[in-house]
Amino acid sequence: MDITALKIRDMRTMLDKKEISAAELTDAYLDRIDKTDGSLESYITVTADEAKAAAVKAQQVIDDGNAGVLTGIPLAIKDNICTDGIKTTCASRILENFVPPYNATVMEKLNAEGIVMLGKTSMDEFAMGGSTQTSAFKKTKNPYDQNRVPGGSSGGSAAAVGASLCAAALGSDTGGSIRQPASFCGVTGLKPTYGRVSRYGLVAFASSLDQIGPVAKDAHDCAIILNAISGYDYHDGTSAKLDVPDFTAKIGQDIKGIKIAMPKEFYAEGIDSDVREAVENAAKWYEQQGAVIVECSMPSLKYAVAAYYLIASAEASSNLSRYDGIKYGHRSETGDSYSDLVCNSRSEGFGDEVKRRILLGNYALSSGYYDAYYGKAMALKQKIREEYAEIFKGCDVILTPTAPTVAYGINENISDPAKMYQADICTVTVNIASLPAISTTCGYDKNGMPIGMSIIGKHWDEASVIQAADAYEKQFAYQPAKI
């Protein structure tokens, strides 16, 4: 039996029954990383020594009978989540050697649970991209076909889970960055409601949209991790002062009678027929189980990508201004004046995609253009939220494809940013409306590439999307990546 392919629940049982030790589990993953990650390139940093030490500590806790759900479970962390004393690069040259002196709140919570961190996973630079090919360090491959991209920006996390190089991982989702790579890599990714998980220590891309969430083998494992990382945090003023429910509570409950909406715009032109069919088949399955399919419409979807890129880039242009080479991060060797030094440091430190978005964001916020771009985008944000509110009046969850296509070939889209951006059409509205959504595999195309579907829930109702995804997963013929 390959223990690295197990679900978190099964590992838990084995650890608690002493059928395996935390050290053995950790070593199994480290061995596998050693063997396969040279080509897959899902990790930027593997923290083998720290992981082994954490496993020893975790075993002590297990032996003492104090184990929590995640004690001794080896996880991978996206490299834009700050880890005290461990490099956090955001896959950017500008933070190549940045070692945070503090932990993100989610890390504090996971460490308190006794997890074993295996390392930091690759991503698109500053989470800007959907392919992990804008990473300055590790351009991660898809575990199902290494000539294809793993999606992004949490491509490293999704590929590592898909290739069993960790039990589960944390990603971050600003416009689909957890769900889309989860769908490309045949795993399950959950973007929580905005405010559910503290953003403190998540290196900001677009503050009003960013949210940390789990990438795991299935919805149940996602729920287990979400249980551990959720909750109000004093350090994040936008985190919600709400009690955290048990996100596994609805798992296994009958889905009969739940109303599933399918806004027609998500199934229109631009969505590959393979993808559309797979999601529609999943809808049929739900219907057979007694769910009610509701037809509905989201007229503003056609503007969503434009609105998203304006808002996200505007916030990013401001969030990324702090990388000036003065306090930390890359500093240019040249530049006699302050402005030259900042200019050179940023020109050398940032990749093309990041520069493109900084330019776009600055433009959108410039005096004279603000109303036409940022102002309009904010109005659209309001409109999209209203349309979601309207749809949710008649349903419990919404079902959409996660991405218009399956994973595409490396470098296939990268030269055409507009095409790349348009591929986010299925995911960005969820962030704009601050909603929770999960992506899970609903089928495979003729090449065996996974197809993802997204289940979107009402605000704070992660439990229902987990319930719906789990129900489907339990009967789904999962085909693990052969790696």
Partner 1 sequence: MSAYIPVIGLEIHAELLTKSKVFCTCSAEFGGDKNTRCCPVCSGMPGTLPIINQTAVEYAVKAGFALGCDINKFSTFDRKNYFYPDLPKAYQISQLYLPLCINGLVPIEFEENGEKKSKNIRINRIHLEEDAGKLIHDDLNGVSLADYNRCGIPLIEIVTEPDIGSAEEAKAFVEKISLLLQYAGVCDCKMEQGSLRCDVNISIMKPTDTEFGTRAEIKNLNSIKAIGRAIDFEIYRQAKLLDMGKRVVQETRRFDDNRGETKSMRSKEDAHDYRYFPEPDILQVNFTDEDLDAIREKLPEMPYKRLERYLADGLNETDAKIIVNKKILSDFFDEAVKTYSNPKSICNFLIGELMRRINLGEIELEKLPFSAEGFAKLVEMADTDKVSKNDAKDVFRTMCEKGGDPEEIAKAAGLLITNDTGKVLEVIEEVLAANDKAVSQFKNGDQKVFGFLMGQCTKALKGVCTPKVIKEELENKLKSI
Q: Which amino acid is at 2?
A: D
CA-derived radius of gyration, the chain: 21
User: Considering 177, 345, 454, 464, which one is annotated as catalytic?
Assistant: 177
Residues forming contacts to partner 1 in the complex (CB under 8 A) are: 80-82, 88, 90, 95, 98, 100-102, 104, 199-204, 206-208, 234-238, 314-315, 317-318, 321-324, 326-328, 338-339, 342, 362, 365-367, 370, 374
302 CB contacts (<8 Å, ≥6 apart)? 265
Q: Which amino acid is at 297?
A: S
Residue pair 462/193 in contact by the 8 Å Cβ criterion: yes
Only one residue has tokens 């460490």, namely 111
Structure tokens at 364: 């959108």
Q: Which is nearer to partner 1, 281 or 362 (CB)?
A: 362
Please give the DSSP secondary-structure letter assigned to residue 310. Answer: H
Q: Residue 409's beta-bridge partner residues? A: 148
Distance in Å, CB of 463 to partner 1, minimum: 25
Q: Quick one: which of 409, 477, 426 has its CA closest to 191? A: 426
Strand order in the sheet with 437-444: 43-46, 116-121, 74-78, 168-173, 211-216, 188-191, 437-444, 450-457, 397-401, 259-263, 292-296
Q: Which is nearer to partner 1, 88 or 248 (CB)?
A: 88
Annotated catalytic residue 366: no
Q: What is the three-class DSSP state of 107? A: helix
User: Considering 92, 135, 153, 198, which one is annotated as catalytic?
Assistant: 153
Q: Which is nearer to partner 1, 82 or 275 (CB)?
A: 82
Distance in Å, CB of 426 to partner 1, minimum: 24
Q: Which is nearer to partner 1, 6 or 117 (CB)?
A: 117
Residue pair 278/442 in contact by the 8 Å Cβ criterion: yes
Q: Which is nearer to partner 1, 113 or 324 (CB)?
A: 324
DSSP string, 389-436: HHHHTT-SEEEEESSSSSPPBTTSSTT-HHHHHHTTTTTHHHHHTT--
Q: Which is nearer to partner 1, 126 or 444 (CB)?
A: 126
Distance in Å, CB of 471 to partner 1, minimum: 35
Distance in Å, CB of 201 to partner 1, minimum: 4
Residue pair 181/132 in contact by the 8 Å Cβ criterion: yes
Q: Which is nearer to partner 1, 5 or 326 (CB)?
A: 326
Q: Which is nearer to partner 1, 114 or 201 (CB)?
A: 201
For residues 77 and 63, give the distance between their C-alpha atoms in angstroms, rounded to a whole number. 26
Distance in Å, CB of 297 to partner 1, minimum: 29
Annotated catalytic residue 273: no
For residues 265 and 293, give the distance between their C-alpha atoms in angstroms, rounded to a whole number. 15
Only one residue has tokens 């978005």, namely 357
Residue pair 423/430 in contact by the 8 Å Cβ criterion: no
For residues 138 and 261, give the distance between their C-alpha atoms in angstroms, rounded to a whole number. 39
Annotated catalytic residue 78: yes
Distance in Å, CB of 320 to partner 1, minimum: 9
Element at 13 (helix H, strand E): helix 8-16
- Please say whether the dihedral angle defined by the alpha carbons of residues 122, 123, 124 and 127, taken in this order, is positive or negative: negative
DSSP string, 127-183: G--SSSTT-SS--PPBTTBTTB---SSTHHHHHHHHTTSSSEEEEEESSSTTHHHHH
User: Considering 78, 109, 138, 139, which one is annotated as catalytic?
Assistant: 78
Q: Which is nearer to partner 1, 177 or 188 (CB)?
A: 177
Distance in Å, CB of 208 to partner 1, minimum: 4
Distance in Å, CB of 351 to partner 1, minimum: 16
Q: Supply the residues annotated as catalytic.
A: 78, 153, 177
